[in-house]
Each structure stands twice: as C-alpha cells, then as structure tokens.
C-alpha cells in the first residue's frame, strides 16, 4: 500500500505531549486570571460569513484571510477575536449586561508568508470591556493590573507595560496642522524602535511635513523622565486643542489608577512613542515588553476604541481590551529557553501489576482517582523492565509495583521516581493518597 507522508503544514504549531502540557498550563494561567477579574467566557465560530467578517476589514488583513466558497456561501476563517466580538455584541445586545466583560481564548488564522516564529494558526487570549454608550476610563487603568498578574504568574519579574494615549498624538497633529496625515504619522512613529530616528525623519519628510513640525513630533515622542515628569512636560507643551486636553486628562487618570490597581512603579510607564499601528484605537494604548528580551516585541497589547461595532449597529459601544498571542509567545519563550517543557506525564502515579489477578490493583487505581490522584495502571502483559521503562520515559512521579507479596502482606511500596526513595505503607488508597499529596 502506498503511504502518504504524515506531515503538518508549515506555520502551524503542533507540539509533543510534554510541550503541550506546558502550553496548556500557560493557557490555564491566563484563563484563570481573566476569571479572577470576573470576565465571562464566550466562544464564537472559527468560520464566519465573509460579508460579516470583512464588513470593515481591508488592505493587509484581507490579503491574509483564508477565504473560500462552500456551495454558494462565501466563507472566511476569523483572523482575530475582535471582529467576532463586535458581531456577538451587536447580535446579542439585548441579552448582555453592560459593561460587558468577556474573555475569549481561541485559534485565529492568517495566511502570512511563512517564516520562523510566525504562525498561520495561533491562539489569541483576549479580554475586552464593552460599555453601552460610555465606558469609564478606570477600565483602562484596570487592564494593566491583569497583564501584570498574568506575567507575574508566568514567572516573569522584569517586564514593562507601556501605556500611551492616542489623543495626545492626535492633539499634537492637530496643533501642527497634520491631522489628515495622522494615521500615516502614527504608523511611522510606531516603528521608531525598529527603524531608528533617522529613518523616521526621512519617512516624515516624505509626507511633506515641515522640518519645524517634524522637530515638534520628535520632541514630543522623546519626552523623558518619570511618569510624573512626563505628564508635566506634556502640560508645558501648551497644546490648546480639546483632543490633547482630553488625552492628557485621560492618561493622567489612567496612570494614577494603574498604581492603585497594584501594578508596581517599575512595571509600567508612559511611553509616548507607542501608537499601535492600526487606526482602530482611539485612546489608551498598551504594549508589554520583557525587558531582557525586547526582540520578542510586545507580548501583550491592546487599547481603547470608541466604537466596537459601528459596521453592525448604530449603538455606540466603546471598549477597551488586550490580547496575548499565546502561540508566538510560547514559541519564543521556548526558543530562548525561558520556559522548559519538563513535565512529561499527566499521571502522578503509575500502578504496575505483576500478577495474574488484576482485581485489587484495578480497584486501588479507581479509589486513588476518586481521591484526586491522577492514576494510571499499566495494563499490558510485559516484563517488569518494560513497564519500568515506560514510567521512566514519561517521568511519572510515583510508582507502585503490585505482586503476590504485596497482596499477601497487604503492604505496598510507593517509589518516588525522582529521589529513588521507597515508602512502605498499607495497601490502602487513603494512606497512599496522603503520602503522595504530602510529598508533592
């Protein structure tokens, strides 16, 4: 028979079980934190009508989309979780309570050119808070505390949540008569870390912005100091339009409360350079960097938008949200060996029967499971050596070998596979469970 080569598409992550265990742990940490802050789960389809999914999209996004016909229907795979959220909120408006706090963790699809560390299928872990008509700026201040909690739980210390407000930038552009260029300018500024100051100046010149105004833009994004000093310097710029004033008020309040929400000074800062390319965001924007690994780019980003779903509904639905691209994060952390897929088994205990009559070993396994010990029983008729090798390869923490002696004496030995230590105890599930719980 001709064999098909078993292979997985490039740009699609497929992990070995030990890596998958670690991936699931990270995903669970993120989900548990979202729940800790009271966010509600939703789960939307991966396939949507193209007409619905692409109601707003265009340009780059559209090119990357997996789009196809099924029968007469024009379908697309979701490329993020934000458009499905917009659809969901517009569709279920009457059945939701606002502010609507939702989380969604799921796979999204982008047919990008394959390159190392870029994925065509990847998990996004999103939260958003959607207001009905209005949404307090305090929500913008709460999100960084969620980012902080997650990255702390994931084991990081030295990371910075960079916060900015697009209204400051827009106010500046208005002041220098460049409002119509603002999207373009934002896009350029956003790249300053990547392409450097000279290149930014060059690109701004290409937009026919006067040197004087380019200087103003650069002075603005180069404002230095503590958060308080930066806020003062912003005020001193004396930019007198409404958008700038609003931005200054919002960022001042946001920064004040981020601290109250428990994020230490060293883990957040006002960064006037970040704009989050997309013209989607209208107020607060966030990026998060692991300071020793800036090359990873932002590991958690997001921001405030004035209108979640204006292409579906007349209702004004302002929101603020963040997203973690977990697949890429996992890949990069693994590559940098900042995480290690050490755990190879889900089982805590392997019972190895070495006798004909399996009744008692099987019963013990069931009892231990009922006591919440993840228990596996080796069921194939193999030599002890083969069975031990299995336990060894999977690094199952504990094993109990049960032979005729153990049955007769009503005693078992729990072997700690890491230390080699053996603890003898009665052939009794409760006692065994207690011992295992105590060691772990």
Site residues for its own copies, window 163-202 (CB under 8 A)?
none
Nearer to its own copies, 236 or 381 (CB): 381
Does 16 engage in binding with its own copies (CB under 8 A)? yes
Helix, strand or coil for residue 239?
coil
Is 237 among the residues that bind its own copies (CB under 8 A)? no
Name residues contacting its own copies, limited to 33-62 (CB under 8 A).
Answer: 35-49, 51-52, 55
Q: Does 101 sit near its own copies (CB under 8 A)?
A: yes
Which of 316, 374, 413, 434 touches its own copies by CB under 8 A? 374
Count of residues touching its own copies (by CB under 8 A): 101
User: Considering only 172-180, 222-230, 254-262, 298-306, which stretch makes contact with its own copies by CB under 8 A?
Assistant: 254-262
Show the site string, 143-162: x = touches its own copies by CB under 8 A, - = not: --x---x-------------
CB under 8 A: which stretch of 154-162, 179-187, 332-340, 390-398 binds its own copies? 390-398
Asked if 128 is part of the footprint of its own copies (rule: CB under 8 A), the reply reads no
User: Exposed, middle or buried by CB within 10 Å (0-12, 13-18, 19+), for 392?
Assistant: exposed
Asked whether position 245 contacts its own copies by CB under 8 A, the answer is no
| Contact between 24 and its own copies per CB under 8 A | yes
Q: Is 293 in the site for its own copies (CB under 8 A)?
A: no
Q: Is 75 in the site for its own copies (CB under 8 A)?
A: yes
Strand arrangement, sheet containing 319-325: 40-41, 100-109, 121-130, 319-325, 301-305, 284-290, 159-165, 268-270
Task: Name the strand (E) or helix (H) holding 360.
Answer: helix 359-370
Q: Which stretch binds its own copies (CB under 8 A): 5-13, 171-179, 397-405, 409-417?
A: 5-13
Query: Residue 121 forms beta bridges with which residues?
Result: 12, 109
Distances (CA, A) of 83 to 49, 88, 129, 312: 12, 9, 14, 10
Residue 218 makes contact with its own copies by CB under 8 A:
no
Q: Which of 247, 250, 263 is nearest to 144 (CA)?
A: 263
Q: Decide: is 267 part of the binding site for its own copies (CB under 8 A).
A: no
Token reading at 206: 């290409």
Rounded to a whole number of angstroms, the minimum distance from the CB of residue 281 to its own copies is 19
Are the CB atoms for 274 and 287 separated by under 8 Å?
Answer: yes
CB 267 within 8 A of CB 195: no
**Choices 219-227, 264-272, 343-351, 426-434 (CB under 8 A): range interacting with its own copies:** 343-351
265 binds its own copies (CB under 8 A): no
**In this structure, are strands 268-270 and 159-165 parallel, antiparallel, or unpaired?**
parallel
Tell me if 264 contacts its own copies by CB under 8 A.
no
Of 260, 335, 405, 426, the residue at the interface with its own copies (CB under 8 A) is: 260
- Using CB under 8 A, pick the residue from 58, 70, 383, 385 that binds its own copies: 70
Q: How far is the CB of 186 from its own copies (least distance, A)?
A: 23
Select from 153, 167, 141, 190 the least CA-distant residue to 297: 190
Tell me how far CA of residue 147 lies from CA of 66, 101, 143, 231, 299, in angstroms: 30, 15, 6, 23, 10
Euclidean distance between CA atoms 266 and 158, whole angstroms: 8
């Amino acid at each position: 028979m001709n064999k098909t080569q078993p292979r997985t598409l490039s740009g699609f992550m497929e992990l070995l079980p030990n890596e998958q265990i670690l991936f699931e742990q990270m995903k669970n940490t993120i989900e548990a934190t979202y729940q800790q802050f009271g966010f509600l789960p939703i789960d939307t389809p991966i396939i949507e009508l193209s007409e619905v999914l692409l109601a707003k999209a265009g340009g780059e996004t559209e090119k990357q989309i997996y789009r196809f016909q099924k029968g007469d229907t024009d379908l697309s795979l979701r490329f993020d979780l934000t458009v499905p959220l917009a659809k969901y909120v517009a569709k279920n408006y009457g059945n939701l309570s606002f502010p609507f706090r939702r989380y969604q963790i799921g796979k999204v699809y982008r047919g990008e050119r394959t390159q190392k560390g870029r994925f065509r299928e990847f998990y996004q872990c999103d939260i958003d808070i959607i207001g009905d008509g209005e949404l307090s700026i305090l929500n913008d201040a709460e999100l960084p505390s969620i980012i902080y909690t997650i990255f702390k739980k994931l084991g990081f210390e030295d990371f910075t949540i960079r916060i900015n407000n697009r209204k400051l930038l827009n106010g500046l552009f208005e002041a220098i008569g460049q409002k119509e260029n603002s999207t373009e300018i934002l896009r350029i500024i956003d790249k300053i870390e990547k392409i450097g100051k000279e290149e930014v100046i060059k690109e701004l010149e290409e937009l026919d912005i006067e040197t004087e105004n380019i200087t103003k833009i650069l002075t603005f994004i180069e404002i230095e100091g503590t958060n308080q000093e930066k806020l003062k310097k912003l005020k001193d710029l004396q930019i007198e339009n409404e958008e700038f004033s609003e931005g200054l008020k919002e960022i001042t309040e946001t920064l004040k409360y981020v601290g109250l929400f428990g994020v230490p000074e060293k883990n957040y800062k006002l960064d006037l350079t970040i704009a989050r390319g997309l013209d989607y965001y209208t107020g607060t924007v966030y990026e998060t960097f692991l300071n020793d690994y800036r090359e990873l780019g932002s590991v958690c980003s997001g921001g405030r938008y004035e209108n979640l779903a204006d292409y579906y509904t007349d209702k004004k639905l302002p929101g603020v949200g963040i997203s973690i691209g977990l697949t890429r994060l996992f890949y990069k952390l693994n590559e940098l060996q900042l995480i290690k897929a050490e755990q190879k088994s889900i089982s805590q205990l392997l019972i190895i029967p070495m006798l004909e009559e399996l009744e008692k070993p099987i019963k013990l396994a069931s009892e231990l499971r009922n006591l919440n010990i993840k228990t596996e029983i080796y069921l194939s008729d193999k030599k002890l050596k083969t069975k031990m090798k299995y336990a060894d390869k999977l690094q199952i923490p504990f094993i109990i070998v049960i032979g005729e002696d153990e049955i007769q004496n009503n005693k078992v030995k729990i072997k700690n596979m890491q230390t080699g230590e053996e603890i003898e105890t009665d052939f009794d599930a409760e006692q065994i469970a207690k011992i295992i719980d105590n060691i772990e």
